[in-house]
Amino acid sequence: MSSVGLLYVGAVLYLNGLALMGIIKGTGATPINWFVGFLQVLTPTYLIFTANGDADAIFLASGLYLFGFTYLYVAMGNTWGHDPTGLGYFSLFVAIMAVGYAVGNLLMFDDYAFFVIWLLWSVLWFLFYLTLGKGLTRLTWFTGGVAAVEGWITGAIPAFLLLTGVWQDLDGRVVAVALTVVFVVALGILWSRQPATREEAP
């Protein structure tokens, strides 16, 4: 994923997370989903058409569509009131494919950092599936918190380090371990701070 695209993935995950937590009200996060959704569809299309058959470049670009379509799906749902179940099941598809992209980054590019980042995205999109596809609304606040955290640790911060040239000097294994530790700690904190909710009807 390009560093610029990754930066704005961080932004939209952060804002969508705040929306799920109830901090951003109503459709307040809808515009950023339109902006980043279009960006994450136009960018990989350009990269694929200019890749000259480079399989590695096409592989890396293709994953961007998973995000672009997600954010456009969110934007359309917020704008026109579509039932969120479809987005939930699309999120399951993204969660499964993200595991494949994680393995691809590890085996094809020996990239431990993005191996973990893709796995963290897989966890988040699986939470979207549980919340939107399966209707487990008690997970909404928690899922929003995870999205907000991932917006920073898998998006904005890595993107800024890439843009400034610092990322390339970091040990990928150390970054992978650090990301895992921060994520697990964040999960524990968010889970312990969930607001009380009623149980869903069976």
| DSSP, res 196 | P
Q: What is the pLDDT of residue 2?
A: 78
Assess contact for 87 and 69: CB atoms under 8 A. no
Q: What is the pLDDT of residue 170?
A: 96
Instruction: Dump the DSSP string for 69-132.
Output: HHHHHHHHHHHH---THHHHHHHHHHHHHHHHHHHHHHHHH--HHHHHHHHHHHHHHHHHIIII
The domains of the chain are located at: 3-192
Ordered per-residue pLDDT tens for the chain, 202 residues: 679 999 999 999 999 999 999 999 989 999 999 999 999 999 999 999 999 999 999 999 999 999 999 999 999 999 999 999 999 999 999 999 999 999 999 999 999 999 999 999 999 999 999 999 999 999 999 999 999 999 999 999 999 999 999 999 999 999 999 999 999 999 999 999 998 765 443 3
Amino acid at 33: N
Report the alpha-carbon distance of residue 146 to residue 21 in Å, rounded.
10
Q: What is the pLDDT of residue 201?
A: 38
Helix (H) or strand (E) holding 22: none
Q: What is the pLDDT of residue 197?
A: 65
Class of domain 3-192: mainly alpha
